[in-house]
Amino acid sequence: MKLSEAVDKNGAYDVYGASGLIGKIDFFHQGEPYVAIVKDGVGIGRTMLLKKTSL
């Protein structure tokens, strides 16, 4: 399943992409706040501090 197929507006948890918040989802992978690093595109190398219970 592609992430784009899982993202919707009704999920409980935020999903972030390279440009920021892109939607909601019903599950999460991070139980603590974490730093995400953009690995491609225009924002390469940019960091974001994201909250726990996000993807």
In-domain check, residue 37: yes
In-domain check, residue 55: no
Taking the C-alpha atoms of residue 48 and residue 34, their distance in angstroms, rounded to an integer, is: 8
Taking the C-alpha atoms of residue 11 and residue 1, their distance in angstroms, rounded to an integer, is: 16
In-domain check, residue 8: yes
pTM for the structure as a whole: 0.64
In-domain check, residue 46: yes
- Tokens 């440009």 belong to residue: 19
pLDDT at 15: 84
pLDDT at 11: 86
pLDDT at 41: 75
Per-residue pLDDT of the chain (55 residues; tens, 9 = 90+): 566 677 777 888 888 877 788 888 888 888 899 998 888 777 788 898 988 988 7
Domain count, the chain: 1
Range of the domain at 7: 3-50
In-domain check, residue 27: yes
